[in-house]
Structure 1
Amino acid sequence: MAKNLVQSGQTLNFTAAAAVMSGQAVAIGDMIVVSHGDVAAGQVGVGHAVGVFDLPKTAAADIAQGASVYLKDGEIGTDNTGVYAGKAWITAGGGTTSVHVAINVGGV
């Protein structure tokens, strides 16, 4: 094993600016994590930095499989003014309320 390995990079500690629910996507800089558990405002939580998660999406957004998606106002959409979230793992048409996202994959 490399002597300079710090960790596997699958999780990241974060300080919650506001209360966070388990499974909620949280923006940290220019990336997102998905909270492992409930975290009170001001407390440190653990966020998953890799994986595919079912996340709430903007109902009107029509998201194609493989599309770059962004977190904005707590929802996933294609509006690139949000924080880059990853790639849509499945197609999620307008009117649906969630989408599977491979988080922090691919970049923009």
Structure 2
Amino acid sequence: MAKNFVEEGKTVAIVASAAISSGDLVQVVMFFAVALTDIPQGETGDGITEGVFMLPKLKTDDMKTGKKVYLKSGKVQLTNSGSDPLVGVVWADAGTMQKKCR
């Protein structure tokens, strides 16, 4: 292993500017993490930066595996209005009747 290895980089410290619930998708400057635990406002907790998670989706979107998804108003969606950040790809199909996707 390299002499300068520090960590795997799978988790990151999150400082909560508002209360965060376990499982929330949180923007950490230029990337996203999923909170591992509830984090009270002003406290620091951990978020995981890789993996597959069930997240709320725009109900009208028919999500297909491999499609890019963007975050808007706390939900992932297929459409990018230009300023919506890319947060990942669909891991498994989720139709319009489903409220969450992977």
Does residue 83 of the first structure (1) align with residue 85 of the second (2)?
yes
Aligned equivalent of 2:60 = 60
SS in 1 for 2:76: strand
Aligned equivalent of 2:71 = 71
- Asked if structure 2 preserves the Cα contact closer than 8 Å seen for 1:68 and 1:86, the reply is yes
Aligned residues: 100
Kindly provide the CA deviation profile for residues 52-74 of structure 1, in whole angstroms up to 9, marking residues without a partner as x.
Answer: 01111111112111001112211
Identify unmatched segments of 5+ residues in structure 2.
none
CA distance in 2, matches of 1:41, 1:82: 24
Aligned equivalent of 1:27 = 27
Q: Which has the higher strand share?
A: 1
| Paired residue type of 1:87 | V
Tell me the percent identity: 36
CA distance in 2, matches of 1:55, 1:86: 11
CA distance in 2, matches of 1:52, 1:64: 15
| Paired residue type of 1:85 | V
Q: CA deviation at 1:45?
A: 1.2
| Paired residue type of 1:26 | V
CA distance in 1, matches of 2:21, 2:35: 7
**Any runs of at least 4 consecutive aligned residues in structure 1 with deviations exceeding 6 A, and if so which?**
none
Identify unmatched segments of 5+ residues in structure 1.
101-108
Aligned equivalent of 1:40 = 40
TM-score normalised to the size of structure 2? 0.90
